Amino acid sequence: MGSLMARIALEKRDVELVGAVSRRTHLQGTDLADYLGEEAARGVGIFPDFACAQQQAGAHVAIAAANSLLGDEIPVIESAVAAGLNVISIAEEMAFPAASDPAAALHLDEIARDAGVTILGTGINPGFVLDLLIIVLTGVCRRVDSVYAERVNDLSPYGGAVMTTQGIGLAPEEFDAGLADGSVLGHIGFPQSVAMIADALGWELERVAQKREPIVAVKERRGAHVTVPAGKVAGCRHTATGYVAGAPRIELVHPQQIEPGAEGQPTWDLIRLRGEPDIEMRVAPEMAGGTGTASIAVNMTPLVHAAPAGLASMKDLPVPRLAAVRT
Amino acid sequence: MGSLMARIALEKRDVELVGAVSRRTHLQGTDLADYLGEEAARGVGIFPDFACAQQQAGAHVAIAAANSLLGDEIPVIESAVAAGLNVISIAEEMAFPAASDPAAALHLDEIARDAGVTILGTGINPGFVLDLLIIVLTGVCRRVDSVYAERVNDLSPYGGAVMTTQGIGLAPEEFDAGLADGSVLGHIGFPQSVAMIADALGWELERVAQKREPIVAVKERRGAHVTVPAGKVAGCRHTATGYVAGAPRIELVHPQQIEPGAEGQPTWDLIRLRGEPDIEMRVAPEMAGGTGTASIAVNMTPLVHAAPAGLASMKDLPVPRLAAVRT
């Protein structure tokens, strides 16, 4: 993900890639051009930490791309903020940190203001499809009674770590055991998306109920790195329901699986608002996950650089847009 | 439109409707509750101008809903700004004023900064469907090569003024004469939408080519206020193409007509981005025009009130969202 972001940043007119940060000691001090095999990166250094990148290369914005959970990401963000850097994080729980840890969100806001920098969590999902885009569509509504959205995507290209956290390849009973012992996670980010939507619409969220069910292959399914025979788990159907005043008003559905096409399941992003007016939006096929996350993180760089100091979520900043590509 | 906005504002938790402005002298000094037939508006005065509304009712934000063209709207905005009010305008040419008159845009920015207020143009289109929503979707793109979008809507509910400007009911040769003499206008707002998109993506726009063609009824079409026999004009197919470096990179298509369903034409909003990744989004049926424009103008009120001083377009402010409804 870091390499893809670096390649994208190199293409941008208004973003200058001045350094990379890696914990791998054999890379530190080498030239990013050699690592990427990309001459455009010649002269871009690989540093051991954000402080070095800031001091030696004059960085303004750090993009953190290594974690999913808030607990893992906060020390990374703290080190970047301590170096005087604005931070864009693609950790899923950073999309709306108050959802899982209000105290941590206050802390991040405080250190950002003290340092005069902006901290933003983003990504395709959470950060865009199942939260920001929904919020944007409510902008033309007089009244919203309920929100339903689903993202049906294809995990076929992804590698081993994603297969494991989705329980892909397991027997159905192993999937249930994996849920119980925490090795099967499904989607990370639902509480964040639901909370961001509720906050934007002024709904007082009482609780978020989540459900994870195995998608059992009826036919053999093939991904880039795994083949699942019929009867085994091809993915995880993960849903989240947000309750407001006792009623389910936000329902998000995210069945993630390999090769859904093998069983005739098309992929899409769907948003259905009930209210005045009703709105039904569909993007088909679904917006690309990996490219989408890397792109939105880089695209937000100029907006984060220009934003007021503090912890921001996607709904607080000007609308995302392509950062201009060099011509 | 003003009445609809007033009704919507009365429903909002974070917006307080404190006054209405009307040029109709017999309404001035009366109570808006009587005019609207809406007890929630009891005590809301109708004033002759923005200065009175500000002084007597303590208004902070004015919504201007009476014009389409910049030349008509600027004096209205000037009077509101002179009264110390932030301004939201639904005049189509205000969606991106620099598109038709860069000097006027500079002037508006200057008076807004001097008065410490924000001026925003908005609406469903221009202001949302064929510009802002496109810009938002490019946020997850690595590269955008071209933009194609269409809004196929149903004008059946609209009244006489809209029928006239779209040439509805005319013979095809009368439609052409109407284009020539300026009585048939088609859609107002294409140069604004194209310029907003180009500006957001960092594309240097060379020119915008527009085309207006009659949609001739094959079968009889019925609207709320007009019936069009076969052979007469049922609407205007208006297109705009934005050229960048000699190439058409933005194409917007907006066939507006009454009762498209009579000839099997469904309505929708469609956005198709070519680049990496390709994105195809469809909202069907199309997002409601009248409710959408009134709603987004009211919904933007808290965001405009909180925005820094100056002339803003929709792409400069935090994403639109439903302003919370009273419970």
Q: Are residues A172 and A45 in the same domain?
A: no
Domain with A200 in it: what CATH number?
3.30.360
Of B8, B14, B318, the CB nearest to A316: B318
Q: Are residues A156 and A55 in the same domain?
A: no
As a whole number of angstroms, the distance between CA B130 and CA B190 comes to 9
Q: Are residues A270 and A165 in the same domain?
A: yes
As a whole number of angstroms, the distance between CA B149 and CA A95 comes to 30
Q: Are residues B106 and B213 in the same domain?
A: no
Q: Are residues B119 and B148 in the same domain?
A: no
Q: Would B155 be classed as within a structural domain?
A: yes
Least confident of A121-125, A271-275, B66-70: B66-70
Residue A54 confidence (pLDDT) above 90 = yes
Q: Would B253 be classed as within a structural domain?
A: yes
**In B, which residues are within 8 Å of A284 by CB distance?**
280, 282
Of A13, A132, A282, the CB nearest to B282: A282
Residue A327 confidence (pLDDT) above 90 = no
Check: CB of residue A271 under 8 Å from CB of residue A151.
no
How much is the average pLDDT of A164-175? 96
Burial of A37 (0-12, 13-18, 19+ CB in 10 A): exposed
How much is the average pLDDT of A310-325? 97
- pLDDT for position A200: 97
Instruction: Please state the domain count of chain A.
Output: 2
How much is the average pLDDT of B214-228? 96
DSSP sequence for A174-231: HHHHHHHHTS----S-HHHHHHHHHHHHT--EEEEEEEEEEEE-SS-EE-SS-EE-TT
Give me chain B's average pLDDT, please: 97
Q: Would B260 be classed as within a structural domain?
A: yes
Q: Are residues B156 and B74 in the same domain?
A: no
**In B, which residues are within 8 Å of A120 by CB distance?**
none
Q: Are residues A15 and A154 in the same domain?
A: no
Which residue range forms the structural domain that includes residue A40?
2-124+291-312
Contact across the interface for A277 and B283, Cβ inside 8 Å = no
Domain with B10 in it: what CATH number?
3.40.50.720
Q: Would A321 be classed as within a structural domain?
A: no
Count of beta carbons in the 10 Å neighbourhood of residue A219? 12
Q: Would B15 be classed as within a structural domain?
A: yes
Q: Are residues B136 and B283 in the same domain?
A: yes
Query: What ipTM goes with this model?
Result: 0.97
CA distances from A214 to A173, A235, A251, A286 (A): 9, 6, 19, 21
As a whole number of angstroms, the distance between CA B43 and CA B45 comes to 6
Q: Would B151 be classed as within a structural domain?
A: yes
The count of CB pairs under 8 A between chains A and B is 161
Q: Are residues B114 and B257 in the same domain?
A: no
As a whole number of angstroms, the distance between CA A190 and CA A16 comes to 33
CA distances from A49 to A56, A63, A280, B229 (A): 11, 12, 45, 73
Give me chain A's average pLDDT, please: 97
Residue B159 confidence (pLDDT) above 90 = no
pLDDT in tens, A217-250: 999 999 999 999 999 999 999 999 999 999 999 9
Q: Would B240 be classed as within a structural domain?
A: yes
Check: CB of residue A141 under 8 Å from CB of residue B295.
yes
How much is the average pLDDT of B267-281? 98
Q: Are residues A153 and A68 in the same domain?
A: no
Q: Would B234 be classed as within a structural domain?
A: yes
Q: Are residues B31 and B46 in the same domain?
A: yes
- pLDDT for position A244: 97
Q: What is the CA radius of gyration of chain A?
A: 20
Contact across the interface for A319 and B136, Cβ inside 8 Å = yes
Q: What is the CA radius of gyration of chain B?
A: 20
Contact across the interface for A318 and B318, Cβ inside 8 Å = yes
Q: At B161, is the pLDDT very low, low, confident or very high (cuts 50, 70, 90)? A: confident
Q: For residue A64, list its beta bridge partners.
A: A89
Widest pairwise Cα distance in chain A: 58
Q: Are residues A118 and A136 in the same domain?
A: no
Q: At B141, is the pLDDT very low, low, confident or very high (cuts 50, 70, 90)? A: very high
